[in-house]
């Protein structure tokens, strides 16, 4: 069974302006999926739907086969959730907050709780409102994982954290993942974090899934071709070539993302355009992100 | 064994892991029968997804460099895959020619290239501890 499954999810806040528009993908046990997209692409809305905090207007979401709005308790027992803007009552101490969570979850693991408190160097007597941003996020992670969830959903968990705190957060997530079967869905703008712990990426763009692919495949079998404008006056001339995922004009060159290794794409472009001075390079995730959803670009059908 | 991954590197992470383990075996820093960390331990050490390390191990196993013994762990194979020496020599000679032509085009001379090869050897074998062979031509650790 899948850990998490979105089927054709649509949702809008204003009529006729969908934030999510037919999103379908799933997360298998043990998988780490990075949810990418620009601000406003619909990542947080999708995550809130998975947590049962929002209804989809169309489509369905299943967490371990259950609906998070019909079976909220059964679902929440098996899910951990951390978000960037999570708010805990500021007047509580860490100890009181943990007691509250321990009371909610029968399967709360005291050993893991102690390990994480030691590791993060947290003093349980401190009040939540006195914590630094990084410490508050560590408390949130502790509260999200000590019931040993089978699915961890992280909405921009490392936003605003310094590199050392981010790494510590990732290390803790990986350790949790190493428990058989725990899956992670996390949204992030830190592409190196996604490349480091992600197995697969789902790229949302204007409410639709633009790309859903294994990172290794993305790294090895996706590349960017730089085609001088002389070889194609309109973007359609490049878009029409099989395997093209997106085109944009940069100065006097088309930057086109293609499925395929740089060598194979170079060969097929030479054949179809008869051009000789085309360069093809493989791209790190950050560059790929910018090429596919950044700034001024022409739309090509979803990947 | 010290491994290092660069998430933004040219190679995907599982290939970076594969390459470093293969180099460690080639250089004698990992010897036949030596135990590798479990894929879970290595994933925590490198802070990468466990499935990524598992993929690297699976590929190395398919290539015959390492083997998993159920309940015991993962080990460097006692008998490493032999590649036909004739094929291999032709390939290596070709590579040597490419290396030299690239070096000469860059204005280097033969002694510069020899020095580079020696440096690479030191990196592969891990410092001055040049590996030794026993009478059967098998690698032994010093």
Average pLDDT over residues B13-33: 90
Would the pTM of this model clear 0.80, i.e. be above it? Answer: yes
pLDDT value of residue A161: 84
Q: Whole-angstrom Cα distance, residue A254 to residue A247?
A: 6
Q: For chain B, what percent of residues have pLDDT higher than 70? A: 87
Between residues 185 and 224 of chain A, which touch chain B (CB distance below 8 Å)? Answer: 191-193, 195-199, 215-216, 219-220
pLDDT value of residue A180: 65
Q: Is the pLDDT of residue B134 over 80?
A: no
Across chain A, the runs of DSSP E, i.e. the strands, are: 4-14, 17-27, 32-36, 58-63, 79-83, 151-155, 183-187, 200-205, 208-214, 222-228, 244-250, 253-259, 279-282
**How many A-B residue pairs are in contact by the CB < 8 A criterion?**
57
Average pLDDT over residues A140-167: 89
Confidence of residue B127 (pLDDT cuts 50, 70, 90): low
Domain locations in chain A? Answer: 4-215, 221-293
Q: Does A294 touch chain B (CB under 8 A)?
A: no
Residues from chain B that touch A192, judged by Cβ atoms under 8 A, are 7-8
Domain spanning A221-293: CATH 3.30.70: yes
> For chain A, give me the number of helices (H) and strands (E)?
11, 13
| CA distances to A11, A44, A189, B76 from A153, in Å | 19, 11, 15, 37
Residues from chain B that touch A198, judged by Cβ atoms under 8 A, are 49
Kindly report the three-state secondary structure assignment for every residue of B34-78. Answer: CEECCHHHHHHHHCCCHHHHHHHHHHHHHCCCEEEECCCEEEECC
Confidence of residue A220 (pLDDT cuts 50, 70, 90): confident
pLDDT value of residue A296: 52
Contact B50 A286 (CB under 8 A): no
Q: Is the pLDDT of residue B135 over 80?
A: no
Contact B8 A30 (CB under 8 A): no
For residue A8, report the phi and psi dihedrals to the nearest 5 degrees.
55, 45
SS3 A222: strand
Structure tokens that stand for A214 in this block = 């294994």
List CB contacts of B109: < 8 A, sequence separation 6 or more.
B103
pLDDT value of residue B138: 52
pLDDT value of residue A295: 63
Q: Does A178 touch chain B (CB under 8 A)?
A: yes
Is residue A32 within 8 Å of A195, Cβ to Cβ? no
Residues from chain B that touch A191, judged by Cβ atoms under 8 A, are 8
Q: For chain A, what percent of residues have pLDDT higher than 70? A: 96
Structure tokens that stand for A21 in this block = 């528009």
Contact A195 B51 (CB under 8 A): no
Confidence of residue A303 (pLDDT cuts 50, 70, 90): very low
- Of A153-167, A231-245, B12-26, B79-93, the range with the lowest mean pLDDT is B79-93
Residue B86 has a CB neighbour count (10 Å cut-off) of 8
CATH architecture of A4-215: 3-Layer(aba) Sandwich (3.40)
Average pLDDT over residues A195-212: 92
What ipTM is given for this predicted complex? 0.77
Mean pLDDT of chain A: 89
Predicted confidence (pLDDT) per residue in A64-106, tens digit: 999 999 999 999 999 999 998 788 888 999 999 999 999 999 8
B36: left (phi over 0), alpha (psi -120 to 50) or beta: beta
């Amino acid at each position: 069974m899948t850990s998490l499954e979105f089927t054709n999810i649509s949702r809008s806040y204003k009529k006729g302006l969908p934030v999510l528009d037919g999103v379908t993908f799933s997360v298998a046990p043990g998988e780490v999926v990075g949810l990418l997209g620009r601000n406003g692409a619909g990542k947080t809305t999708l995550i809130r739907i998975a947590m049962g905090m929002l209804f989809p207007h169309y489509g369905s979401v299943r967490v371990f086969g259950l609906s998070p709005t019909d079976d909220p308790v059964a679902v929440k027992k098996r899910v951990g959730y951390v978000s960037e803007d999570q708010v805990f009552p500021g007047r509580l101490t860490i100890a009181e907050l943990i007691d509250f969570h321990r009371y909610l979850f029968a399967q709360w693991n005291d050993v893991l709780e102690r390990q994480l408190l030691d590791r993060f160097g947290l003093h349980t007597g401190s009040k939540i409102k006195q914590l630094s941003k990084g410490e508050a996020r560590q408390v949130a992670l502790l509260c999200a994982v000590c019931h040993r969830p089978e699915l961890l959903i992280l909405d921009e968990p490392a936003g605003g954290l310094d590199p050392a705190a981010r790494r510590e957060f990732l290390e803790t997530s990986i350790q949790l993942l190493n428990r058989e079967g725990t899956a992670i869905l996390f949204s992030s703008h830190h592409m190196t974090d996604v490349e480091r712990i992600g197995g697969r990426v789902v790229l949302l763009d204007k409410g639709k899934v633009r790309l859903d692919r294994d990172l290794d495949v993305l790294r090895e079998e996706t590349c960017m071709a730089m085609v001088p404008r002389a070889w194609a006056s309109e973007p359609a001339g490049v878009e029409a070539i099989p395997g093209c995922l997106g085109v944009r004009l940069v100065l006097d060159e088309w930057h086109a993302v293609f499925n395929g290794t740089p060598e194979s794409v170079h060969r097929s472009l030479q054949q179809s355009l008869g051009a000789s001075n085309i360069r093809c390079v493989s791209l790190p995730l950050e560059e790929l992100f910018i090429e596919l959803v950044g700034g001024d670009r022409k739309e090509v059908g979803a990947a | 064994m010290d491994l290092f991954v660069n998430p933004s590197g040219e190679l995907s992470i599982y290939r970076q892991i594969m390459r470093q383990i293969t180099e460690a075996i080639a250089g004698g820093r990992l010897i036949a029968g030596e135990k590798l960390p479990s894929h879970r331990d290595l994933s925590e050490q490198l802070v990468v997804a466990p499935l990524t390390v598992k993929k690297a191990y699976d590929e190395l196993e398919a290539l015959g460099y390492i083997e998993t013994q159920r309940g015991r762990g993962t080990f460097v194979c006692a008998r490493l895959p032999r590649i036909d020496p004739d094929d291999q020599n032709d390939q290596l000679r070709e590579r040597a020619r490419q290396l030299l032509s690239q070096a000469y085009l860059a204005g280097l001379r033969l002694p510069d290239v020899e020095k580079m090869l020696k440096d690479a050897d030191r990196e592969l074998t891990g410092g001055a501890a040049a590996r030794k062979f026993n009478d059967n031509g098998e690698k032994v650790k010093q």
